[in-house]
Amino acid sequence: MGNLCCTCVDQSSIEVIEQFGKFSRIAYPGFNTIWCCIGERVAGGLSLRIQQLDVRCETKTKDNVFVDVVVSVQYQVVRESLYDAFYKLTDSRSQITSYVFDEVRATVPRMGLDDVFTAKEDIARAVKEELQKSMSSFGFQIINVLVTDIEPAAKVKAAMNEINAAQRLRLAAYEQSEADKVEVAGAGAGTGECRLAAGHQDSRPAWRAIISGLRESVQSFQSEVTDVNSKEVMDLLVLTQYFDVLRDIGMTGKSNTVFLDHTPAGVANVSGQIRAGFMQANAADTQTMRR
């Protein structure tokens, strides 16, 4: 390019003109004349646009998990520092990459793997502050820094997915068990009410038959023996039924030992209890029929 006598600079760009190897001037966008006869030449150029550099950095977390962190740096040449941007750095992109590596590897090892994912903004902020301090002296402005990707090793990622799936399955099983409890409790309550109602219905004919038979027995006994009242006849019938029950218990092969009080006072007490039970059942049955 040193043999040219003119140059055309693109928009949002500049070119650096040197004379005999020494900085001479800046050629801005448009047509520019090069005085070749006095040793001027185009030494190079710079873009004034915002540029982006993606840096992939491998580092280790606090819990010894290796991850690849992708950091996107958006930077721009400062118009007032074109000389510094051109002459102070041989390769600005390599310099920015080195600073990103240094800051990421100083920040991420202080965090656990889960914290790295939730602290992306903190990592980006730390990288931006460090780059801004170092690159401003070279004529570059850091516009923004973004952590665009955090990728653990394939085995670690698979393990994390399995842990997440297990947690969701455990939660689903718990919710299903709670639903089953509610369903079983509701079904049990309904079945209990149905059985209770069926028991009342089944017991009514039996009580009616027993009471009717006792009534007929009392009336038949009083018609033949006139010097006894109905209470005495009832006591006699109840006592007879009581001894019949004891006989049936003794005749069964799987019966257990039963201790009963058969003193006169004890037998009278048993008779009174049985008679009271029959009377309560008769009263309940009568009240039900009235309803």
Q: Which domains does the chain have, with CATH numbers?
A: 6-47 (no CATH), 51-152 (3.30.479.30), 210-290 (no CATH)
Q: What is the mean pLDDT of each run of 10 residues along the chain (291 residues)?
A: 72 90 90 86 90 91 88 92 88 90 90 87 91 90 92 72 71 76 66 57 54 63 60 65 70 64 63 66 61 57
pLDDT of residue 1: 45
CA 105 remoteness from chain centre? 32
Give the total residue count for the chain: 291
pLDDT of residue 51: 92
**Percent of the chain as helix, strand, coil, to the nearest 5:** 60, 20, 20
Class of residue 131 by CB neighbours under 10 A (exposed 0-12, middle 13-18, buried 19+): buried
Answer whether 278's CB lies under 8 Å from 285's CB. Answer: no
Closest alpha carbon to 221 in 210, 207, 237, 209: 237
Pairing, β 22-27 against β 51-60: unpaired
Task: Provide CB contacts within 8 A for 100, sequence distance 6+.
Answer: 55, 57, 71, 73, 127, 131
pLDDT of residue 56: 92
Task: Provide CB contacts within 8 A for 49, sequence distance 6+.
Answer: 12, 76
CA distances from 238 to 87, 119, 224, 257, 269 (A): 124, 87, 19, 23, 12
Pairing, β 13-19 against β 40-47: antiparallel
Closest alpha carbon to 234 in 207, 242, 260: 242
Structure token digits, residue 106: 């100083």
pLDDT of residue 283: 66
Answer whether 108's CB lies under 8 Å from 100's CB. Answer: no
Rounded to whole angstroms, how far apart are CA atoms 88 and 95? 11
pLDDT of residue 88: 87
